[in-house]
Amino acid sequence: RKEVEQDPGPFNVPEGATVAFNCTYSNSASQSFFWYRQDCRKEPKLLMSVYSSGNEDGRFTAQLNRASQYISLLIRDSKLSDSATYLCVVKRARGSSNTGKLIFGQGTTLQVKP
Amino acid sequence: GAVVSQHPSWVICKSGTSVKIECRSLDFQATTMFWYRQFPKQSLMLMATSNEGSKATYEQGVEKDKFLINHASLTLSTLTVTSAHPEDSSFYICSARGGEAGIGTDTQYFGPGTRLTVL
């Protein structure tokens, strides 16, 4: 089983739609959680961190449920420019055998159409 | 924000040759650098973690003799793919994590990636 699981999609939505992505992680010792965005043939870029209290950045809302080990990303009023792959990322706690490394999900592809 | 560069951005080589990829932190000192590999439609997979001045720590299944990592300074890490074969064709991405005030010690900054094609 993968440590971070996402539905790869693709999600094809019209402009203006609201779309939600989900992610589950298996390691309960995970410390930090993020959503990254990756455009085709480019490096991943941090979209937002995810907190248990939920956090919002403009049209993007992220939620974390530690009990269920579940992370979500909601995009409202989708734009054409939102088309990309969204990566769910989990960071393990630093420890003697860890370096706080990032574990990436497979990514969910979003295509926003006019 | 912090900038990480990679060179080359793409490379095509013949099977059996060695390829060196450079990763530089341009405006901060990176105490730790990470090397990832991404195959088409797959996730980024961590290959190894390197700390300046010490040997890299490789992930399970990654051959350390094939993927040589050198992190000789706080701003430069190199990944050498030795005797490359077509199955090594992939997108190689580095990231750097800072270790001084002003640059978050928990934030990783990604390079733009290097696309390797082995014929």
Per-residue model confidence (pLDDT) at position B103: 47
User: What percent of chain A is modeled with pLDDT above 70?
Assistant: 95
**CB nearest B111 (choices: A43, A99, A107):** A43
Phi-psi region of B61 (alpha: psi -120 to 50; beta: other; left: phi over 0): left
List pLDDT tens digits, range B9-61: 999 999 999 999 999 999 888 888 999 999 988 889 999 999 888 889 999 99
Pairwise CB contact (< 8 Å): A87 & B44: yes
| Mean pLDDT rounded to a whole number for chain B | 90
Q: Enumerate the residues of chain A whose CB falls inside 8 A of the CB of residue B106.
A: 32, 91, 100
Closest approach of B113 to chain A, Cα-based (Å):
6
Per-residue model confidence (pLDDT) at position B106: 67
Nearest CA-CA partner of A26 in A52, A3, A1, A7: A3
Rounded to the nearest angstrom, the gap between the alpha carbon of residue A6 and the centroid of all alpha carbons in its chain is 8
Per-residue model confidence (pLDDT) at position A94: 64
Q: For residues B97 and B106, what is the distance between their CA atoms, to the nearest angstrom?
A: 7
Nearest CA-CA partner of A6 in A18, A22, A20: A22
Q: Enumerate the residues of chain A whose CB falls inside 8 A of the CB of residue B111.
A: 43
Assess A8–B contact: CB distance below 8 Å, yes or no: yes
Q: Enumerate the residues of chain A whose CB falls inside 8 A of the CB of residue B112.
A: 42-43
